[in-house]
Structure 1
């Protein structure tokens, strides 16, 4: 699980570095696409990420009854919550988040969306393909954007 976490963090860091690279200013559309790709790292869009989701689900289930695993499971979930919160805070600073949005609630809602898509895809892989998961994610993020920023 720690090795898988390290691979995921490396992929997320590469996306974050792209967002923070001041040498190549990004358009709002480019920024949005990097955020989609970053969040999509947690979705089972390909074989590697499908395997990671299955490992994560098995690990999270085991952590419910094995206290020695609980801290790491909590750390991973907390990391996802921190990531989604930071993304939403950045969107607010850039004027790309509805001003009435409650960031704490929206971060949890985004985590629940990612978890739900991952869970559904893991249990019913033929019912939910990569394009549909990405469309759901993009639609959710677009709904958080003020109309003037679209």
Structure 2
């Protein structure tokens, strides 16, 4: 699975002019499943995201997780993280999971996140979404977890 984490002061997803999900301080997580991913992969990534120490402590060092600071998690599906840009100028997306698998893993990830963390908001899989955020830092971290 591929992910892009952004530490945010706030973030929201708008679909069709309506807010679908929003958080204050926390992590905006763009999520992409790949063909070989499974529920196990999704679980590993969730554990890593929730434990990632990207929030400041009393000395301003990144020593706290989103769970430590009581922040939110906004999960947005984004198959374009799997873009293949090695040749030409039009990205290919064959490295992304097929839509059915991608949606199933996204749904599993969100369900597990809601069991593990108190503040979880989402976009909608496959929707045309507008994402607004105030990046904090800025802190942006690409992640991947293999099956």
* Coarse TM-score class (shorter-chain normalised): 0.3 to 0.5
TM-score (norm 1): 0.33
TM-score (norm 2): 0.33
- Asked which structure has the greater CA Rg, the reply is 1
Report which structure shows greater RCO (CA 8 Å, sep ≥6): 2
Give the strand-richer structure, 1 or 2: 2
